[in-house]
Amino acid sequence: MYWDQNSAPTPVSSTTTSSTGRTLRGMGRAAPARRGAPAGFRSGVGTRPLRDMRLVEPVLDAEDRTRRPSQATKGPAMERVPRRSKVPRSAARRGIDRFQKSVINPLDKLAFALGVPPRGDALLETTGRGTGRRRVTPVCDGTDGDTFWIVAQQGHSADYVRNIEKNPRVRVKGSLARTGWRAGTACILDGDDPQERVQILSRDNRWRRLCLQASTAMATDLVTVRVDLDPR
């Protein structure tokens, strides 16, 4: 090993820590620097360049100290996985609509076919806007003389409302008057207050009130439809 004659040995403490983290005792002098070696390099047993030292704690600035532990100096492997978004309300609403169309409405139609219609319910028959076929939808019985009132739960998004926009000729069959099918012409009243209409229709009959309360509880965008019945 070559020693530099012009450099004096540098005294160090009797306890020295190597780059591997082990404590070396009994060393009274540190090995001098070797000629041509980079700065920070000391020759000797167990010594390595300082830039290869691994156990070096990161230096945090003032901003990092104020952060929470989960936010300070995160690496790619520590990135937080984004939480799964909540199920939107529209998805739950679509589930309710499917249940109503696939379970409740068929049972309501079957009850009418058997001659035991639920009190306060009625059937509305429209013409399919695309197929031209007859479409029957259970609604609340809004018979008031020669006028039949409907408060659509889904507003202009309801299939029967869109059918009425294409062809306003409809038929209705109520459960309160027991008059059978009656034809008429439907008109969508965008300027009418659906909530006020529900209150007016709920005054006369408790069965109708129960039907309207259950219908509006699942409503998303109410709209009033008036059917002017043909003379008998």
Q: pLDDT tens digit string along 113-156? A: 888 888 899 999 999 999 999 999 999 999 999 999 999 988 99
Domain limits for position 195: 98-229
Residue with more model confidence, 228 or 24 = 228
Average pLDDT along the chain: 74
| 202 assigned to some structural domain | yes
What mean pLDDT do residues 33-44 have? 53
Q: Quick one: what percent of the chain has pLDDT higher than 70?
A: 59
Nearest to 152 by CA among 104, 221, 73, 51: 221
Is residue 4 in some structural domain? no
Is residue 109 assigned to a domain?
yes
What is the rounded distance in angstroms from the CA atom of residue 72 to the CA atom of residue 69?
5
Whether 18 has a pLDDT exceeding 80, the answer reads no
As for how many domains the chain has, the answer is: 1
Is position 198 within any domain?
yes
Of 63, 5, 69, 64, the closest CA to residue 33 belongs to 5
**pTM beyond 0.85, yes or no:** no
CATH number of the CATH domain containing 174:
2.30.110.10
Look up residue 40 and give its two tokens: 């920070």
d(CA 159, CA 97): 12
Quick one: average pLDDT of 207-231?
90
Residue 217 lies in a domain: yes
- Tell me, yes or no, whether 7 lies in a domain: no
Higher pLDDT, residue 224 or 49: 224
Can you read off the two tokens belonging to residue 46? 């167990």
Residue among 30, 31, 24, 34 at smallest CA distance from 12: 30
**Do the domain assignments include residue 164?**
yes
